[in-house]
Structure formats: C-alpha cells, structure tokens
Amino acid sequence: MLAAATAILLAIGLYQSAMAPDDYQQGATVKIMFIHVPNAWLSMFVWSVMSVAALGTLVWRHPLADVAAKAAAPIGAAFTFLALVTGSLWGRPMWGTYWEWDARLTSVLILFLMYLGLMALWRAVEDPSRAARAAAVLTLVGAINIPIIKFSVDWWNTLHQPASVLRMGGSTLDKAFLWPLLVMAIAFSLLFITLHLAAMRNEILRRRVRSLQMMQASRVSFTSEAGAGPKEIGAA
C-alpha cells in the first residue's frame, strides 16, 4: 500500500522533473536538483527521526524506539551518501569542482561520518539494549550538527546557495521547478518511511531469532547430558 503510493509518486515526480524546463543559468543540470535536494533533506530528517527515537530509548526505555533507531541508520547513511555524490556531480559543471571545503559540504560530510560511526557502534556491541542506549547518547550529541547544517549557508558566506524553497516571504523558486521538487521530496520521504518500516520489521525478526536462539541454547545446556545437545548448537 505504502510501497505503491511511493512508486506512483516517484513516477509522477520523475516525469515532472523530466518535463521541467531548463534553467536560464544552469541549463539542464538543474534536473540534478530534483534528486539532490530530497536526498539532502532526508539525510537531516532521518537523523531527526533517530534523535526522537533516542529520546524514546533513554526516557521511556521502549524497545521499539531501539528498533526504530537501529533500522534508520543505514538508510540515513545511504541518503547522505547520495546527497553528497549528487551534489558533487552537480558542482562539477556549475562550480567547476567536484568538492569544495565550504561549510555546508563539510558539515554534511561530518554527518555522513557520524552515520558510519553510529553503524559501527551498533555492530560493535552484542547486547542490543546496551547498544541502543550507547547509540542514543551519540545520536543526541550528533543532533547538534543538524541545525549547523541547516543554517550553515546563512551563517557563513559560502559557495553553496542559500535555501530557496522554504523561507520567509515565499519561495524564490519558479513554479515550474517547485512542483517537481515538492513531488520528489514527498516521494522520497514516503520511500524512507516504507524502507524504514520494512527494516524495522527485519530488526524485530532478528531480535526474535536472537531470543529463540537463547532459549534453544539454554534448553540444549539442560539436556546436553542426554547427548542431544551439541548437534543442535551446530544447526543453529
């Protein structure tokens, strides 16, 4: 259901961005915007989702919050990677360079590194609830980066252009570009929600496997004197 809505919106968005006129300055490269901006937006949104989940982990100690936070990290890392790479491919024709150490690019790169660090933290610890609490602290500390990314284009005078969609006094973007961009943004958000829910379901199953294996192991250790034990451990 959700997946179907995502697919339909993505198709509409792709069609609209294919039909969008060329920018008088940027030419056809403006089409990269329709995938770059949603990815960049999601890279921050996913971290915000994880921060809310982190609060759920630390304050209410709800296991579903742990699951949500863990499932979101790889997806967020993928979107951040795409934002960086599409930005780089857009920057080459427009700025003449693939990479520039300006504030917006650097802070998004830091965000990407933090996603990777968070995934390393999740993988480093055997016990999921212990890993969840550690990851929650790191997520909340890393959340400081989000407003820095958002406002880096306003605080520092950089190569990266300032926000033009959401701002006081209306968008500076022409309607011909705004509509495809909005549709694509919604489509990518739906894509994230779909993927996130699926990944959460996987994570729940993974935990169920883990707890059943624990039960199996304890049962095996009880009956191991009867001689049935070691074979079953091998099968698990």
Partner 1 sequence: MSALAALIRRDIRIALRVGGGALIGVLFFLTVTVLMPFAVGPDLALLSRLGPAILWLGALLASLLTLDRLFTADHEDGSLDLIVMSRTPLELACAAKALAHWIAAGLPLIVATPVLGLLLNLDGTATLAVAATLLAGTPALTFTGMIGAALAVTLHRGGLLLAVLVLPLSIPVLIFGVAASQAAISGPLPFGTPFSILCALSLASLVIGPFAAAASLRHGLD
Partner 2 sequence: MSLGPYASFIVTSYLLVAAVVLLLIVWIIADYRRQQARLKEIEASGITRRSGRSAADVR
**Residues near partner 1 (CB under 8 A):** 58, 106, 110, 113-114, 116-117, 120-121, 124-125, 130-131, 133-134, 136-138, 140-142, 144
Report the site for partner 2 in 138-197 (rule: CB under 8 A).
191, 195
- To partner 1, the closest distance from the beta carbon of 55 in angstroms equals 11
**What is the C-alpha separation between 170 and 27, in angstroms, rounded?**
24
For residue 27, give the 3-state DSSP assignment. Answer: strand
**What is the C-alpha separation between 118 and 139, in angstroms, rounded?**
8
Report the site for partner 2 in 82-121 (rule: CB under 8 A).
82, 85-86, 89-90, 92-93
Name which of partner 1, partner 2, none residue 131 binds, using a CB cut-off of 5 to 8 Å depending on partner kind.
Answer: partner 1
36 binds partner 2 (CB under 8 A): yes
Task: Give Cβ neighbours of residue 192 (< 8 Å, ≥ 6 apart).
Answer: 42, 45, 46, 75, 79
Region near partner 2 per CB under 8 A, out of 52-60, 151-159, 162-170, 206-214 = 206-214
222 binds partner 2 (CB under 8 A): no
Q: What angle do CA 37, 8, 175 make, to 5 degrees?
A: 45
Name which of partner 1, partner 2, none residue 137 binds, using a CB cut-off of 5 to 8 Å depending on partner kind.
Answer: partner 1
Task: Give Cβ neighbours of residue 217 (< 8 Å, ≥ 6 apart).
Answer: 233, 236
Name which of partner 2, partner 1, none residue 139 binds, using a CB cut-off of 5 to 8 Å depending on partner kind.
Answer: none
For partner 2, the binding residue among 213, 221, 223, 224 (CB under 8 A) is 213
**What is the C-alpha separation between 158 and 104, in angstroms, rounded?**
8
Name which of partner 1, partner 2, none residue 62 binds, using a CB cut-off of 5 to 8 Å depending on partner kind.
Answer: none
Partnered with residue 27 across adjacent β-strands are: 23
**What is the C-alpha separation between 77 and 225, in angstroms, rounded?**
48
For residue 141, give the 3-state DSSP assignment. Answer: helix
Six-digit token string for 97:
């360079």
- To partner 2, the closest distance from the beta carbon of 18 in angstroms equals 6
**What is the C-alpha separation between 162 and 165, in angstroms, rounded?**
9
Residues forming the site for partner 2 (CB under 8 A): 18-19, 22, 27-29, 31-32, 35-36, 39, 74-75, 78, 81-82, 85-86, 89-90, 92-93, 191, 195, 198-199, 201-202, 204-206, 208-209, 212-213, 215-216, 219, 232, 235-236
